[in-house]
Structures are given as structure tokens and as C-alpha cells.
Copies of this chain bind each other. A is one copy, B any other.
């Protein structure tokens, strides 16, 4: 048991170091030696967890998908909104999530397969949209797969723009505005006014999840 804990901690330490190195140096120029140095672990420990630079990058890429289990809502569209807004919140506050997203957007990274996060987010959005359809929440003409990719791709761009223009200061605002532009085209009008699309929604959901997971912190 303690051994396993240590392995998990070591893996996390290596991923944090890799995230930092990729963010500072870019995927192309980053080297495994730099990650080794930043992580302060042995070569053996690193290669036990990761076989190559791309393997390290995939670890960082997929870290953004951890910890996104959300409380179920009566409205599946609200759940979809919550996924988007929580992701925006985590981008602002979690360096590992930020590194993963930046890596997935690095169009100069030759030889790195960036498909993973796009496919994972789109599949999650598509599932929620299909559930929403089953409950009669969306308009009849909607192609849930198309909409899932529109949400995934457009959010990716909105966060990059927010990073470039305000270093993520306006990210919540921009994400909320994006949803206000897309949802009216897909959601039943009767549902729209019941949705919480406010910029603070991500923080609200994060606090809610956090409180549920560690009830002793919420005293």
C-alpha cells in the first residue's frame, strides 16, 4: 500500500515537472533530461512511468480530464454547462490543467498526437446532449455529434484568445458569452431561462464538488 502511494506521488511529481517544462520550452524543444532535472527523480523512476517524451506529453494532455465528475442535474443541458464552466474554472486555477490544454493547442508540436483531449471532450458533450435529447431538452433538428464538436472546438479557441488578450482574466466571462451564443440554437426555448449561465457558475460548481468530496473541509 505505501509503495503504491509512493508510485502515485512519483508519477504526479514527474507529470508536474513535465507540464512546467512543456509550458516554458514548448513541446518541440523540451527534452527528457530537462524533465528529469525539474522532477528531481532518477532516470529509472521516470522510465518506469513514461517511455518517451510523447508519453510524458500524453500524460499531461490527459490530466485535464481527471476530476471532472459532476453532481447529476435534473437538466442535462445544465450539466453540460457545468462541465464547460468548471473546466474554465480549473484552467484559471490548476497549472496541470492549463499545461494540458496548452499542449493540446500547440499546433507547432510535430509528432505529438493532439487528438485525445478533443475526442474525449466531444464524446462527453455528445453523451450529455444525447441524454438531454432523451429528456426533450433540445430542438429536433440538432445533430448532437456536430454540436458536441462545435462546443469542444470553440471553447478551445475562446480559452486561447482569453489567454492571449487578458492572461485568462476574462475567461469565465468569455465562456459564459460563448454558451449564450450557442445554446439558443440547440435548446428548447422553454428551458433557456432556467439555465444558470453566469460567469461564476464554474466556481460555484467547483465549490460544490469540493465540499461533497471532503466534507470535513467545509465545517
Does A1 lie at the interface of the complex (its beta carbon under 8 Å from any beta carbon of B)? Answer: no
| Cross-chain contact B185 with A161 (CB below 8 angstroms) | no
Q: State which of B24, B153, B182, B185 has its C-beta within 8 Å of the C-beta of A157.
A: B153
B-facing residues in A104-138 (Cβ within 8 Å): 104-110, 114-115, 118-119
| Cross-chain contact B178 with A153 (CB below 8 angstroms) | yes
**Which B residues are in CB contact (< 8 Å) with A182?**
181-182, 185
Does A50 lie at the interface of the complex (its beta carbon under 8 Å from any beta carbon of B)? Answer: no
**CB of A95 to closest CB in B, whole Å:** 13
Q: State which of B22, B102, B163, B178 has its C-beta within 8 Å of the C-beta of A154.
A: B178
| Cross-chain contact B108 with A165 (CB below 8 angstroms) | no
Does A164 lie at the interface of the complex (its beta carbon under 8 Å from any beta carbon of B)? Answer: yes
Cα separation A184 to B152 with both chains bound (whole Å): 19
| Cross-chain contact A108 with B157 (CB below 8 angstroms) | no
- 12 residue pairs A–B, Cβ–Cβ below 8 Å: A22-B108, A118-B165, A149-B174, A150-B177, A152-B161, A153-B157, A155-B157, A156-B160, A156-B161, A157-B158, A181-B181, A181-B185
A residues with CB within 8 A of B = 22-29, 101-102, 104-110, 114-115, 118-119, 146-147, 149-150, 152-165, 174, 177-178, 180-182, 184-186
